[in-house]
Amino acid sequence: MTVLEQPGTYAPAPPPSWRPRTEAAPLLPEAEPYRVLGTRTAEREGGEQTGPDAGLLRRLYAAVVQGRRFNEQATALTRQGRLAVYPSSRGQEACQVAAALALRAEDWLFPSYRDTLAAVARGLDPVEVLSLLRGDWHHGYDSPGTRVAPLCTPLATQLPHAVGLAHAARLKGDQVAALALVGDGGTSEGDFHEALNFAAVWQAPAVFLVQNNGFAISVPLAKQTAAPSLAHKAVGYGVPGRLVDGNDAVAVHEVLTEALDRARSGGGPTLVEAVTYRLEAHTNADDATRYRADGEVEAWRAHDPVTLLERELRDRGLLDEETVREAEEAAERQAAELRERMHQDPQPDPMELFAHVYAEPTPQLREQAAQLRAELAAEHEAAAAARPAGNPAAGEETR
Amino acid sequence: MTVLEQPGTYAPAPPPSWRPRTEAAPLLPEAEPYRVLGTRTAEREGGEQTGPDAGLLRRLYAAVVQGRRFNEQATALTRQGRLAVYPSSRGQEACQVAAALALRAEDWLFPSYRDTLAAVARGLDPVEVLSLLRGDWHHGYDSPGTRVAPLCTPLATQLPHAVGLAHAARLKGDQVAALALVGDGGTSEGDFHEALNFAAVWQAPAVFLVQNNGFAISVPLAKQTAAPSLAHKAVGYGVPGRLVDGNDAVAVHEVLTEALDRARSGGGPTLVEAVTYRLEAHTNADDATRYRADGEVEAWRAHDPVTLLERELRDRGLLDEETVREAEEAAERQAAELRERMHQDPQPDPMELFAHVYAEPTPQLREQAAQLRAELAAEHEAAAAARPAGNPAAGEETR
Amino acid sequence: MSTAVRQPTAARTDRKPATMGQALRRALRDALADDPAVHVLGEDVGTLGGVFRVTDGLAAEFGADRCADTPLAEAGILGTAVGMAMYGLRPVVEMQFDAFAYPGFEQLVSHVSRMRNRTRGRLPMPMTVRIPYGGGIGGVEHHSDSSEAYYLATPGLHVVTPATVADSYGLLRAAIASDDPVVFLEPKRLYWSKADWDPEEPDAVPGIGRAVVRRRGSSATLITYGPSVPVCLEAAEAAREDGAEGWDLEVVDLRTLSPFDEETVAASVRRTGRAVVVHESPGFAGPGGEIAARITERCFHHLEAPVLRVAGFDIPYPPPMLERHHLPGVDRVLDAVARLQWESGFTSGGRGGAEGRGGGAL
Amino acid sequence: MSTAVRQPTAARTDRKPATMGQALRRALRDALADDPAVHVLGEDVGTLGGVFRVTDGLAAEFGADRCADTPLAEAGILGTAVGMAMYGLRPVVEMQFDAFAYPGFEQLVSHVSRMRNRTRGRLPMPMTVRIPYGGGIGGVEHHSDSSEAYYLATPGLHVVTPATVADSYGLLRAAIASDDPVVFLEPKRLYWSKADWDPEEPDAVPGIGRAVVRRRGSSATLITYGPSVPVCLEAAEAAREDGAEGWDLEVVDLRTLSPFDEETVAASVRRTGRAVVVHESPGFAGPGGEIAARITERCFHHLEAPVLRVAGFDIPYPPPMLERHHLPGVDRVLDAVARLQWESGFTSGGRGGAEGRGGGAL
Ligand SMILES: Cc1ncc(C[n+]2csc(CCOP(=O)(O)OP(=O)(O)O)c2C)c(N)n1
Ligand SMILES: Cc1ncc(C[n+]2csc(CCOP(=O)(O)OP(=O)(O)O)c2C)c(N)n1
Ligand SMILES: [Mg+2]
Ligand SMILES: [Mg+2]
């Protein structure tokens, strides 16, 4: 049989089976970041009050002022040797606070190492949140209790966790959404891709917030991606993409609230890119002058998330000196309490190193624990022996 | 200082630094797969001959007929125990052949395990190409000599290789493009994402051809992605996406040629999705009836890549019985030669196991090689001793 | 080389021949039936029933949500399974082949193995990661890796590998029931090995962390696991039958590589005074190093000879036509046993065993 | 615990104090200058000069193409480096921290390590993968892993780790010059260790695959590498000074973990008759198991006691405030030395050393 004699009718186009696909247009993000603050002022001048809810504005304002102060205090704690390291979110407070406030109690948050503030704004104990960065343990708060996953340092690895949790909640019939935070650099990791794709295929109630702060340590966005925007990555997963001004707390809050609502009601995941800027260095250990010009930083200072909110409140006649003072005092109180508590030396128990590796320590771990216990006892004895100055060779103090 | 007193002017929009970005529109693929065969016939009827070049059509036709025969022969070799396994590309011959023919001599091809035919169509020795699947070694041909990378089994891992090679060629100032092949399933892997992103950021002369054959083993496309098309993934990398009818050899050839030309001339990478169908099971070891209906397969048979080409040639008056016979005879000759050569038992040398692990075997490997050499010598002696029937206990033959 | 494992002989009448694959499938089925928190996920595990058919029929019985085909991405599978476990589910994931678990390595090492520890027990990871492993089935490149060394070197994981039909069921149930993550290594070439077994009343077997003496012997101990268990049993039979020396070899099936059952192994070696560790995985920095070192520490003064190792060569897994030269077989095991310094006093020059270059004796 | 490595004392006048970091940087610089095929790539290696500043100034001197900031994706970095090597370049990639090499594990294991072998030598992989590793610098979670066990268990890779300033330069040059892939492990906490060293005339050092005796001794051998070398040297001094027993300890710096220099190590152990392997990496299935097993095979009849191991505990790396309890320090090393059965005859009950439970003696 030659090919000419092959049976079957001739189909000019591939059979319809190839295309279980959606329309691209509704997935495309806006061309310019979505904004609320500032932009609607003009609108409102001519007519009725259509701006954001005053209560929400006040809540965001108080949280952003506290957040700014928290960042300052935490950075100060690194200088005092009270934190091993601190990656400040100064300049990104609007994203952090809006993320926390957009969540319902039953939702989960999946933060990265830079998102301490989001956890604090959610109401977690700041000292517990700082455990990882203080160095007394890897993680300090009760994750299932607070519905905040551990701060995650391996980039983008928390994203599939959020998807799995959201998927599990959906399977159980719970109305729970998971909000996962990731940086612009993190979007380049394979895990970002796999998480977005799983979420899309499973229609998991997961929302991804990319805080595009312009840099991955020293690497600027232009060396990270050639995409029109990071929100455009959504198209490749069949997921709606949103582009939002990350320094506009109200805009971020609105976009996230909408996405989380859709997620909870079975509408599937959303990818949100918040355009923002890291005003400080990557961490206190980094030297940002090596890779960026002061001018750029100054330009972004003029678009400060705290100022933006404040101005809106002012323009709306919602901000008097009293409100400002209250917000600042609350921030100061939180900072003072943090400072004080962080100046108490934590006493992590070395024996805990063996306690949580498995549900039950293995025989090997029991042996190793016994070894450490004996060493600690010997250390203790040596220190005790040194104290009464009885043994001149044993301790520094008696020399 | 309260936030109200913060210095700096108020900027309603983020500073321009946030946006080193391109337009999305030119990146979007076509809404329907691009087609040449069939569609232009009507056009041509009314006027001048604008269809594809007759010489190209004939070359593609001959190659596709050979390719079909090659697939049949290789599958037959699995039944005869001459191949460990064979993942047939029956139904995808247009993609394979067009990929090979679109390349210039200096370009590189990065095939997956399913792309033996692309390598053969590029002119490589079929027996060498089948080495991996025959099982005599992991890889059988001279990669630098043929500019075809090894057939790759870990999914999508060959894609960053293609990007790195293309990038290196560009750095050296060579006009070389790399064409990487991957399946629909492979697009879900993190390596797909990382490769596309690196290629885009580096503007590497790499072209990615996704052969969307509808399935990753048993998993249909709808469980693999929710994207409008796999070509739409291009948008998230800032890379042009093309959607093409993968059973239309001319269309695939045209799209790839254009993409490779742009790549070589510094225009950066392209992502091409070719919509096609795997007419046989995943491999000879798979049972496709477990996960798909005959009806679907039949529908695709009506859109067979060989038939499509043949019909075009016929319509254009380029196909007579002579041409058909020539193509079929050439295919038959190749198949017969393959059959014959594959029926010779290869004699891989066990000692080669130690030869290529490092440039120089380590002392440990030398020891292990000595051990195997001694064992082989002992085996050989035992066999020799058994042959003269002198030792009834030593060999099967004498029992 | 035989791939059949000696099974305890049948006693009751309702025991019929079953394969390891069938016992594994039954374990998954029973776990899904007994605990609604159990979810199976992986590539092709649903409609197809897995490329080794271990999940065959589960999606049909329990629905696509309980036995789910995922997109093709191993880090995604392990990573989403982490999230599912955080929400209280008990995921059982399948990696399609040994080498195809590597893309998920970061999730396994940086999260699965550490989540309990970093959260002080608040987020345990009751996850089972099933990985078909090892060679001997004619698989092409990347389809026959013995990757256990990677998992052993990762604190926080349990590493379990059955060698018998009864253990396949019992250990997989134990793995799924475990509140800690278990890398469950399934010896590919034993999937079709058979034993009489009653799916309605599966044999009780020792739990995770327990080794078992599969054959009693007095001359030397063969310490092994997974695909090499049948090889060692065969070697022991051969030593008994053919051996001029008439060695009576003890065979210990480790069953769990981590945590390692020192007591059972050390007790055997103290009795026999000689030991050979046998596995397919490359020798260098493979499980045998740990086992030999540990047993030597514990039994030094009982040893008549150094603990020797028979392992895969230190090479990438060979192509199908050459794999038989790589896999530890009966002859290689017996060669090693022969090098266990049976003559009283020390004999120098043995190949690969005790020192062969320079230096004096005792 | 000291982090300074004893260096050969200066002889010429142009030797000035240099850090390990500086020597590594100089090695990269000289390699880039000598061979246009050498390309450095990784996260933050360009403008910033790397988070440990090892690549500082290279982009400025050689251009962004020779020392390139990549997008943030480790599999992408390793995978594109494979392609670059296929085209004849000699990539030197930096993984930012030990645990952040894991996302690239599949590329490393399935391709980098096997490409030469699968192509019968036609596609060698002359690639250097620099990985800062180990703890002791107060790094938070995932920043202090000792991941060498994973690389050792991967045939086709060389694994090299310097402990001195001179070796840092010499071994990194050798790694880059090697036609095989080298995982080059840089002990983080030694980056700032100093020695007199002349960048214009760097000391010649033995090549890859060669261990070196850093301190001669007769009582026992400490076998170690990387960050534990200074610890062992300090322990040896302490044993000499304080030890009632007056142990004179020999210290072997392995320098290369794969391939392992059996000859140097075995020669030392045969001389001393006792040995302790010291490393930070968790003990279970860590490098020490292989080393102890191998040395025991080779030197069994020279050993007065089993080869002991001092290693990190079998736990995920601890948080900064607890890491000192995990890291093998001088006391723990000396404790192990004390357990090397110095009394003639066997003493039972030693902690963690020779058997402590049940069983009789010799
Ligand atoms: C897998 C992985 N690779 C590398 C690192 C080291 N690292 C820590 S933060 C960082 C940059 C992250 O940039 P981005 O995602 O933009 O987040 P940002 O720090 O700006 O918030 C890098 C490379 C890491 N933590 N994890
Ligand atoms: C990393 C990895 N995971 C899993 C597999 C097993 N596997 C081989 S082929 C295949 C399906 C691939 O589907 P697709 O990419 O669509 O290519 P096709 O086989 O259809 O050509 C799978 C899962 C693999 N080879 N590599
Ligand atoms: Mg960033
Ligand atoms: Mg496919």
Sorted by where each starts, the structural domains of chain D and their CATH numbers stand as 18-197 (3.40.50.970), 212-356 (3.40.50.920)
| C-chain residues near D302 (CB < 8 A) | 359, 362
Q: SS3 of A290, please? A: helix
- Three-state SS for C298? helix
Query: Residue C202 — pLDDT band, cuts 50, 70, 90?
Result: very high
Overall average pLDDT of the D101-123 stretch: 98
With CB atoms and an 8 Å threshold, state whether D289 touches C284. Answer: no
Query: Which pLDDT band, with edges at 50, 70 and 90, does C13 fall under?
Result: low
Percent of chain D with pLDDT over 90: 88
**A23 falls in which pLDDT band (50, 70, 90)?**
confident
Residue D355's pLDDT is 33
pLDDT at B395 over 90: no
CA B106/CA A340 separation, integer angstroms = 68
Contact A190 D326 (CB under 8 A): no
CA nearest neighbour of C303 among D258, D361, D100: D361
At B50, the pLDDT band (50, 70, 90 cuts) reads low
- And the tokens for C58? 């589960």
Q: How many of the other CB atoms lie within 10 Å of CB of B394?
A: 17
- Token couple for A320: 């008097």
Average pLDDT over residues B25-36: 91
Residue B88 Ramachandran class (φ > 0 left, ψ -120 to 50 alpha, else beta) = beta
Q: What single string gives the DSSP state of each residue in D34-86?
A: H-TTEEEEETT-SSS--TTSTTTTHHHHH-TTTEEEPPS-HHHHHHHHHHHHH
How far CA B300 is from CA of B242, B245, B277, B295, C87, in Å, comes to 21, 12, 7, 9, 43
Residue D359 clears pLDDT 70, i.e. is over it: no
- Which residue do the tokens 């949103």 mark? A242
Tell me which CATH code domain B51-283+293-342 carries. 3.40.50.970
Mean pLDDT of B203-224: 97
Q: Measure D57 CA to nearest chain A CA, in Å.
A: 11
Tell me the C-alpha distance between C280 and C278, whole Å. 7
Whether B285 shows a pLDDT value over 50: the answer reads: yes
In this prediction, residues B102-127 reach a mean pLDDT of 98
Mean pLDDT confidence for D185-192? 98
- The answer to whether D352 contacts A357, with C-beta atoms less than 8 Å apart, is no
Q: Which tens digit of pLDDT belongs to each residue from A248-290?
A: 999 999 999 999 999 999 999 999 999 999 999 999 999 999 9
Interhelix angle D262-272/D287-299, nearest 10 degrees = 60
Strand partners, C258: C159
Cis previous bond, A205, omega within 30: no
The pLDDT value recorded for residue B8 is 46
What's the token pair of residue D266?
Answer: 């075995």
- Per-residue exposure over C81-104, b if at least 16 CB sit within 10 Å of its own CB, e if not: bbbbbbbebbbbbbbbbbbbbbbb
Res. C354: pLDDT tops 80: no
Q: Flag whether residue B87 sits within 8 Å of chain C, measured between CB atoms.
A: no
Could you tell me which chains touch chain A, where touching means 3 or more CB pairs under 8 A? Answer: B, C, D
Best to test chain D binding among A291, A292, A349, A380 (most D CBs inside 10 Å): A291
Partner-chain contact B218 C314, CB within 8 Å = no
pLDDT bin (cut points 50, 70, 90) of residue B38 is: confident
pLDDT value, residue C14: 83
User: What pLDDT, on the 0 to 100 scale, is given for residue C241?
Assistant: 77
* Gap between the Cα atoms of A69 and A120, Å rounded: 12
Atom number of ligand 2 nearest to Cα B211:
21
Q: Which residues of B264-283 are buried (b: 16+ CB within 10 A; e: fewer)?
A: beeebbbbbbbbbbbbbbbb
- Considering chain B, what is the average pLDDT of its residues? 91
Q: What amino acid positions of B are annotated as catalytic residues?
A: 278, 282, 291
Angle at which helices D330-338 and D228-241 cross, to 10°: 60
Interface residue A32 vs chain C (CB under 8 A) = no
The rounded Cα A324 to chain-centroid distance in angstroms is 27
Position B39 confidence tier, pLDDT thresholds 50, 70, 90: confident
Identify which of B14, B194, B237 has the shortest CB distance to residue A275.
B14
Quick check: CB of B281 below 6 Å from ligand 2? no
pLDDT for the residue D354? 34
In chain A, what are the domain boundaries?
Answer: 51-283+293-342, 350-386
In whole angstroms, give the CA distance from residue D318 to residue C155.
12
Taking Cα atoms as reference points, which of B266, B273, B283, B213 lies closest to residue B71?
A: B283
Contacts of D101 (CB under 8 A, 6+ apart): D74, D95, D108, D129, D131, D147
Distance A260 CA to ligand 3 centre (A): 23
Mean pLDDT of chain D: 92
pLDDT at A338: 98
Is the pLDDT at A43 greater than 60? The verdict is: no
Instruction: Name the more confident of C276 and C350.
Output: C276
Predicted confidence band of residue D11 (pLDDT cuts 50, 70, 90): low
CB contact under 8 A, B190 and A194: yes
Residue A38 near chain B (CB below 8 Å): yes
- The whole-number pLDDT of residue C8 equals 53
Q: What local confidence, expressed as pLDDT, does residue A386 receive?
A: 86
Chain D residues closer than 8 Å to B195 by CB: 76, 79-80
Find chain C residues with C-beta within 8 A of D75's C-beta: 103
Q: Binning pLDDT at 50, 70 and 90, where does residue A132 land?
A: very high
d(CA C264, CA C272): 13
pLDDT-based confidence at C323, cuts 50/70/90?
A: very high
User: Residue B69 is inside which H or E element, if any?
Assistant: helix B54-79
Q: For the residues of D193-231, what is the DSSP string, one character each?
A: -EEEE-TTSPPP---TT--EEEE--SSEEEEE-TTHHHH
User: Does residue B6 carry a pLDDT above 50?
Assistant: no
Q: What is the pLDDT of residue C355?
A: 33
Three-state secondary structure call for residue B342:
helix
Q: What would the pLDDT profile of D268-307 be if each residue is shown by its tens digit?
A: 999 999 999 999 999 999 999 999 999 999 999 999 999 9
**Residues B286-292, mean pLDDT to the nearest whole number:** 96
Give the contacts of C234 (CB within 8 A, at least 6 positions apart).
C1, C2, C330
Distance CA D266, CA D275 (A): 10
> Which among B150, B197, B363 is the nearest to D118, CB-wise?
B150
Statement: the pTM of the whole predicted model exceeds 0.80: yes
Q: How many residues does chain D have?
A: 362
Instruction: Give the span between the Cα atoms of B261 and B152, in whole angstroms.
Output: 25
Nearest CA owner, ligand 2 atom 21: B183
- What is the DSSP pairing of strand D194-197 with strand D16-19? antiparallel
Alpha-carbon dihedral sign for residues D9, D15, D16, D17: negative
> Which tokens sit at C79?
């990573």
Annotation says D142 is catalytic: no
Q: D57-89 pLDDT, tens per residue?
A: 999 999 999 999 999 999 999 999 999 999 999
Mutation target among A131, A213, A218 for the D interface, most CBs of D within 10 A: A218
> Are residues B189 and B198 in contact, defined by beta-carbon separation less than 8 angstroms?
no
**What CA–CA distance (Å, rounded) separates C157 from A154?**
19
ipTM confidence score:
0.94
Q: What is the pLDDT of residue C348?
A: 35
Question: By the 8 A CB rule, do C219 and C247 touch?
Answer: yes
Residue D360 binned pLDDT confidence (cut-offs 50, 70, 90): very low
Instruction: From the candidates D39, D111, D143, D279, give the one annotated as an active-site residue.
Output: D143
Per-residue pLDDT band at D238 (split at 50, 70, 90): very high
Q: Which amino acid is at A378?
A: A
* Buried-exposed string C221-251: b where 16+ CB fall within 10 A, e elsewhere: bbbbbbbbbbbbbbbbbbbeeebeeebbbbb
φ, ψ dihedrals at C51, nearest 5°: -70, -20
**Is the per-residue pLDDT at D243 higher than 60?**
no
**Do residue C320 and residue B135 have CB atoms under 8 angstroms apart?**
yes
pLDDT of residue A38: 85
**Measured between CA atoms, how close is C71 to chain B, in angstroms?**
5
Q: Could you give the CA distance from residue B371 to residue C352 in angstroms, rounded to a whole number?
A: 8
Indicate if ligand 2 lies below 6 Å from the C-beta of B183: yes
Contacts with A316 (C-beta within 8 Å, 6 or more apart), sequence order: A51, A54, A57
pLDDT value, residue D195: 97
Q: How high is the pLDDT of residue D346? A: 42
Contact C40, C92 (CB under 8 A): yes
Tokens 């990071």 identify what position? A230
Q: Please report the atom of ligand 2 found closest to the CA of residue B189.
A: 1
